[in-house]
Structure 1
Amino acid sequence: MRIGELAERAGTTTRTLRYYESRGLLTARRTDQGHRTYDEDDLRLLQQIRTLQDFGFELEETRPFVDCLRAGHPAGDSCPASIAVYRRKLTELDGLIDQLQAVRAHLGAQLLRAEAELPHGPEPRCELDMTEAEGTTK
């Protein structure tokens, strides 16, 4: 298939495919006229890359999965290098979750403090009555 068809089937752009090619993640074969051609294996590679990127993986982090598929494995994550990337990503996510939980706890404490300091009388009036401010009466 040509580059436009592959881009359409993969849900991406030809520009993205050329970029992946420049990064060595996608390899095009050329026709006698110099047109790029691809096959179903290339579509599988792209689907793997897109799925991983949808999960927050950087483009370079997808390389071991692509290499695994190129080596003939049935899935991009059935190689030791791919499993290592999964482990690193999970550690990264655990760190981010810890940070978010700490921020949440801090904000919760701030909210409780702010609520405790509220006056218990009637709500202060925040609106400015323009007739009073101008010194006029109705």
Structure 2
Amino acid sequence: MLIGELAERTGATVRMLRYYDQQGLLTPQRTDSRYRVYDESDVERVRSVRCLIASGLNVRLARLVLAHAFDQDVQLPDDEAGCVPLLRLLNEELASVDARIDQLTRSKEHLTRLVADVTRILEDKRPPEPRAC
């Protein structure tokens, strides 16, 4: 199948599929005229890539997960091809997400208090409503 059909079947854009190819997440065959040609296994691979990226992993970690955890044929750059402590990297990413959640929770608490304070100040400054006689 050509790139447009793969895009349609996976919900990815053509641009995104080209990016996945550039990053080594997909390795399509090429025709003599250099068109990318995909097979059925690429449909599932694109779905896996999209799921990994939607989980918050960057392209590098997605590539490592595909190569090591799912044992897929993914071309790794030389600096990633050796023994990669994948589980450690994933645990570090999880810790980073937890830290961001904690920071966002604190920010939300501060902002909630600020909104309450400003609301109270504005209500105190509001002129009293006229009394009915």
Q: Same fold (TM over 0.5)?
A: yes
Identical pairs, percent: 36
Say whether 1:86 aligns with 2:108: no
5+ long unaligned stretches in structure 2: 74-83, 129-133
- Aligned residue for 1:37? 37
Q: Deviations over 1:28-86 (max 9, x none)?
A: 11234543222222222211111122223222331112213315xxxxxxx962x3343
Change beyond 3 A, Cα 1:37–1:110: closer
Aligned length: 117
What pairs up with 1:57-68 in 2 under 5 angstroms?
57-68=57-68
Greater length-normalized contact order (CA 8 Å, ≥ 6 residues apart): 2
Q: Which has the larger radius of gyration?
A: 1
Contact kept, 8 Å, 2:20 with 2:26, in 1: the verdict is: yes
CA distance in 1, matches of 2:114, 2:48: 43
TM-score normalised according to structure 2 size: 0.66
Change beyond 3 A, Cα 1:22–1:117: closer
Change beyond 3 A, Cα 1:123–1:25: same
TM-score normalised according to structure 1 size: 0.64
CA distance in 2, matches of 1:89, 1:32: 41
